[in-house]
Amino acid sequence: MLRDITLGQYYPAESVLHSLDPRVKLFSTLVFIITLFSANNVILFGFVLITLVGIIKMSHVPFSFMVKGLRSIVMLLIIAGLFNLFLTPGRELVSFWIFSISDVGLKNAVLMTSRMILLIIGTSIMTLTTTPNQLTDGLEKSLGFMKRFGVPVHEISMMMSIALRFIPILIEETDKIMKAQMARGADFESGGLIKKAKNMVPLLVPLFVSAFRRANDLSFAMEARCYNGGEGRTKMRPLTYSSLDQRAYICIGIFIVVFYAAKVIL
């Protein structure tokens, strides 16, 4: 099940988007989210949608791969859609038994779910075209100014990249411990909610112990290699903007101007 989540997964391919600086992608994703939520009519919404389709085409990531990421949130989408549909007051369109659908409700439901879908697809394009390491590098550098306010930006990004490194290892470990306990007759499937939770103890305790042991080992290994926080650290591949990134920023600028001009005019 854990393997099905595409959100946060990298898809290796050669494309303009793959070679962009992660900071450009982070900024453009932010712009995309803001415009997506400030698009309050069909034309503006269509404008954002067309731009997104263009970007999807540019990414060289199969569209089916992005849609897979939606599967895990289908339930959430349905619930959010239904709440909007039935619980928004307004001019009544249809009503049966205790339910009624208003015009505002219908509009909100459609807008809400399509926004959510676009949001997921838009952000997953960023993660699909950026390696986790580039992403944390990008975050560290773009949020570097927050260090002045006492936010440990370097430490947070180091923690993120270590977490990403150990997720597959811990998944494998979970599988191994599960099998070992099943061989001792443990049952992880049957029973009610409470029984199921209780049955997880033989899995979770060893998993935590192992995670702590690994953390301890890793801290020694990092210290042995002279790790001493972000001060005075250099980079093998420092982030530098290329002309491609500059052009991308210009495009984003044009997009913002066009979008807000259209918003004011309409």
Partner 1 sequence: MSIIKSKNLVHEYIRRDEEGNVESIQVALDHVNLNVEPGQFISILGHNGSGKSTFAKHINALLTPSEGTLIVDGMNTSDDEFTFAVRQTAGMVFQNPDNQIIASVVDEDVAFGPENIGVPTQEILKRVEKSLKMVGMYKYKNHSPNKLSGGQKQRVAIAGVMAMEPKCIILDEPTAMLDPDGRKDVLQAVHTLNKEKGITVILITHYMEEVVDSDYVFVMEKGKVFMEGKPREIFKDVELLKAHSLDVPQVTQLAYELRQAGVPLPECVLTREELIDELKAAKASGFTPNLSSLVEMEAENNHFTGSGNSDTSKENVLILDHVSYKYSPNTAYEVKALDDVSLSIKEGEFIGVIGHTGSGKSTLVQHLNGLIKSTDGVIYYRGQDIYDKDYDIKELRTQVGIVFQYPEHQLFETTVFKDVQFGPKNQGLDEKEQIKRAYEALGLVGLPEEFYLASPFELSGGQKRRAAIAGVIAMKPAVIILDEPTAGLDPKGRDDILGMITEMHRKRGDTVILVSHSMEDVANYVDRIIVMDAGKPAFDGTPKQVFAHYKELEKMGLAAPQVTYVMNDLKNEGMNVDASATTVEAAKASILKAFN
Residues in touch with partner 1 (CB under 8 A):
131-133, 161-162, 164-165, 168-169, 176-177, 179-187, 201-202, 205-206, 209-210, 213-214, 217-218, 220-228, 232-238
Q: How far is the CB of 73 from partner 1 (least distance, A)?
A: 24
Q: How far is the CB of 241 from partner 1 (least distance, A)?
A: 16
The residue (of 81 and 144) whose beta carbon lies closer to partner 1 is 144
Q: Give the number of residues written for the chain.
A: 266
Q: How far is the CB of 64 from partner 1 (least distance, A)?
A: 14
What's the rounded Cα separation, in Å, for the pair 63 and 52?
A: 12
Per the CB < 8 A criterion, the answer to whether 41 and 109 are in contact is no
Q: DSSP state, 14?
A: -
Per the CB < 8 A criterion, the answer to whether 153 and 140 are in contact is yes
The residue (of 103 and 223) whose beta carbon lies closer to partner 1 is 223
The residue (of 182 and 252) whose beta carbon lies closer to partner 1 is 182
The residue (of 57 and 179) whose beta carbon lies closer to partner 1 is 179
Q: DSSP state, 225?
A: T
Q: How far is the CB of 123 from partner 1 (least distance, A)?
A: 20
The residue (of 75 and 236) whose beta carbon lies closer to partner 1 is 236
Per the CB < 8 A criterion, the answer to whether 44 and 266 are in contact is yes
Q: How far is the CB of 22 from partner 1 (least distance, A)?
A: 14
What's the rounded Cα separation, in Å, for the pair 89 and 205?
A: 49
The residue (of 13 and 53) whose beta carbon lies closer to partner 1 is 13
**Residue 129, burial from CB neighbour count under 10 angstroms (0-12, 13-18, 19+):** buried
What's the rounded Cα separation, in Å, for the pair 156 and 60?
A: 31
What's the rounded Cα separation, in Å, for the pair 41 and 61?
A: 29
Q: How far is the CB of 213 from partner 1 (least distance, A)?
A: 8
